[in-house]
A and B are shown apart, each in its own frame.
Chain A
């Protein structure tokens, strides 16, 4: 038997597992890694696993994009709400809290323009001073509107327009107004009312929703007060015989509801 044959047989016996060599080796095979090393490796294996309750990798992957999208949506929502919660961006003359505001009012048209009366002509130049003539020279009108000269002096006596506006804004405290006038009203009253040359011009400044105090501020005292309407009379300075125009301002709940104009009876103005 050759040496190679003998080694082959030894190998076959060894591979079967019952050789003396294997038994001898297994007898010495008793070394083990240290307990410290066991703990280290176990800890590393545990840390490599996802923690209990930790987010799934899918959730971790989408957490940031979803958060950004949510923030973006909330931001857009808040920005879109701003015009409806603040009158800063509202058109002048609109009362944002009013649910009864019509599209015409939103367009800022005057109450008179909303109800164009077929009975009157509105475009002619008329002087408020003629009201006296129409009502009667010797009679005391319910409220006499000042002549131009007097009105000029009266204007001098008035406090600055800004003070009146500020006063109106304080109206809630002082009781002069039921609620603050919109900015457009302030502007109309403050800048235009006393510069208007006739009732025709002034009547155009009346807006739906004006309070009685604001109408009085704008037009002065009416020549007559009815239950639901105030009556103002306009006459032509140039032609005292002209019939003039009667303006009737209707109120609902203390606010201007509509305005109508009709030709006044000849030389027979409404009695106070």
Chain B
């Protein structure tokens, strides 16, 4: 199978029963989607749970799939919805919302567990700092940054996935980039 086949075509082939198309689709997006959840949750176990849920939902919705947008937008829309649901269920502060007015702290949305073995293997100090900075971002800004970095989405696509206007998505991403740059400079 042509590795350059568009994601949408692969999804349609899987819809018609071609398992190999799903394998290719999964291989292309599994890492980015996993890291999207990992950066948000800070826990590999939670990230895997959400990650699996999204793929299972995709498998179940196979027959209803229609090409209305980029597959990546479709996939991260499902991931966003699952993440919002996860925050609602596990937030220790019921008042915390996934919007620009919330002021979540690191305590509310835990930073990556520094006790995780894979975390100890990070030998680059800058990279370690960047992870902490990302974890410290407000959820909406963090999501905008991760959708851009992991999903490769444009501003319009970020706005579509997060169900906000383009300017709101741009503002979130601008603040996220500014905070991260400032944090790295201060570290460096």
* Chain B positions within 8 Å of A268 at CB level: none
- The segment out of B31-39, B71-79, B88-96, B135-143 that lies at the interface is B31-39
Is A154 interfacial (CB-CB < 8 Å)?
Answer: no
Is A78 interfacial (CB-CB < 8 Å)?
Answer: no
Shortest Cβ distance from residue B37 to the other chain A in the assembled complex, whole angstroms:
9
* Chain B positions within 8 Å of A41 at CB level: 26, 52, 55-56, 59
Is A271 interfacial (CB-CB < 8 Å)?
Answer: no
Interface centre among B31, B55, B130 (most CB of A within 10 A): B55
Is B174 interfacial (CB-CB < 8 Å)?
Answer: yes
**How many residue-residue contacts, CB under 8 A, span A and B?**
89
* Chain A positions within 8 Å of B31 at CB level: 29, 31-33
Chain B interface: which size bin? 35 or more
Are the CB atoms of A40 and B174 closer together than 8 Å?
no
Total A residues in contact with B, Cβ cutoff 8 Å: 31
Are the CB atoms of B52 and A37 closer together than 8 Å?
yes
A21 in complex: contacting residue of B48, B62, B181, CB < 8 Å: B181
A40 in complex: contacting residue of B52, B118, B122, B155, CB < 8 Å: B52
Given contacts A32-B30, A33-B51, contact A46 B178 (CB under 8 A): no
Are the CB atoms of A46 and B170 closer together than 8 Å?
no
Are the CB atoms of A33 and B48 closer together than 8 Å?
yes
For the complex, give the distance between the alpha carbons of A21 and B177 in Å: 8
Are the CB atoms of B155 and A27 closer together than 8 Å?
no
- The segment out of B1-9, B17-25, B99-107, B160-168 that lies at the interface is B17-25
Given contacts A32-B31, A48-B59, contact A42 B127 (CB under 8 A): no
Given contacts A41-B26, A41-B52, contact A28 B19 (CB under 8 A): no
* Chain B positions within 8 Å of A44 at CB level: 55-56, 59
Are the CB atoms of B59 and A24 closer together than 8 Å?
no
Are the CB atoms of A24 and B126 closer together than 8 Å?
yes
Are the CB atoms of B149 and A22 closer together than 8 Å?
yes
* Chain A positions within 8 Å of B110 at CB level: none
Interface centre among B60, B127, B170, B175 (most CB of A within 10 A): B127
Other 9 A-B pairs with CB < 8 A, given A45-B26, A46-B19: A11-B174, A14-B173, A20-B184, A21-B184, A28-B122, A32-B30, A33-B31, A41-B55, A48-B60
- Top 5 closest A-B pairs, CB basis? A28-B127, A33-B34, A11-B174, A45-B22, A7-B178
